[in-house]
Amino acid sequence: MALHTLNRAPADQSCVTRCLNALADNDALLLIEDGVYAALPGHQALFAALPDSVSLYVLQPDLQARGISEKVRDVFTPIDDAGFVQLACDQDKVVSWF
């Protein structure tokens, strides 16, 4: 099980696609920085092919900084910096997509 962090906005298609293709069963995905925009309803299709066992998280301070905290889909669990650290501990390794 790995934690994948993604810090690119959906406009960076190649990075986002490479990240999503790399997700395996029971991995976790955390959207950070401009990556948080992918949690908006307009980008729902990006995640359609993911295994159900992949858990989805989004970094709350980065949502807040962009004024979109109330707008993201509720399949994404918002976490704070402490939650990010906890998630890194819970998974075996961390893969950063940027």
Partner 1 sequence: MGFFLWQNSWLQMIFTLIVQAAPYSHQSADTAYRFAKSLLDQGHSLHRVFFYADGVHTGSALASPPQDEPNIPERWQQLAQDHQLDLVVCIAAAVRRGVLDANESGRYSKPGHNLADGFELSGLGQLVEAIAVSDRTLTFGA
94 counts as binding partner 1 under rule CB under 8 A:
yes
Provide the b/e sequence for 58-82 (b: ≥16 CB within 10 Å). Answer: bbbebbeeeeeeeebeeebebbeee
Binding mask 53-72 for partner 1 (x = CB under 8 A): --------xx----------
Residue among 32, 39, 58, 72 that touches partner 1 (CB under 8 A)? 32
93 counts as binding partner 1 under rule CB under 8 A:
yes
Task: Tell whether the torsion through CA atoms of 18, 27, 96 and 61 is positive or negative.
Answer: positive
CB of 52 to partner 1, least distance (A): 26
